[in-house]
Amino acid sequence: MGVVRKQIFLEPRQAEALKRLARRSGTSEGALIRQAIDARLAQAEDADAQWEALLQRWAASPASGAGRDWRREDLYEERLTRHGDHPR
C-alpha cells in the first residue's frame, strides 16, 4: 500500500485520546487516522449521493415543471389575449 506523508496538528486532548485508542486497539495512530478519514469520506459520498437523488426526484416531480409543454409566460399571454386585455 502506498502512502503519502502528511503533517497534522492535533489538540492535546485529541493526541491523548488517539494515543489511548491506539494502545487499546493494538493499532497505530496513523492507521486510526486513516480509518477516520475513510469513514468521513464515505459519509460525505453518501450525503452527496443522497443529495443527487433528491435533486433527481425533484427534477422529475410535477412541482419542478419537468415534462410540461407550456411556459408560464405563454399562459399569461393566452389569458390576456382571450380576455381582450392584451396591450397591443
pLDDT of res. 49: 85
The answer to whether 10 and 18 have CB atoms below 8 angstroms apart is yes
Q: Domain residues for 65? A: 12-82
**Residue 6 lies inside a defined structural domain of this protein:** no
Per-residue pLDDT at 64: 61
CA proximity to 6, closest of 38, 33, 27: 33
On whether residue 46 sits in a domain, the answer given is: yes
In a domain, 76, yes or no: yes
Q: For the chain, list residues with pLDDT below 70.
A: 63-70, 84-88
pLDDT of res. 51: 82
Number of domains comprising the chain: 1
**55, 66 contact by CB (below 8 A):** no
Q: Domain for residue 45, yes or no?
A: yes
**14-34: per-residue pLDDT in tens?**
999 999 999 999 999 999 999
Quick check: is 20 in a domain? yes
Determine the pLDDT at residue 81: 79
CA distance 76 to 70: 11
For residue 2, being part of any structural domain is answered with no
* Residue 68, pLDDT score: 65
Gap between the Cα atoms of 30 and 10, Å rounded = 13
Kindly provide the b/e burial profile for residues 14-40, where b requires at least 16 CB atoms within 10 angstroms of the residue's own CB: eeeebeeebeeeeeeeeebeeeeeeee
- Write down the pLDDT at residue 86: 56
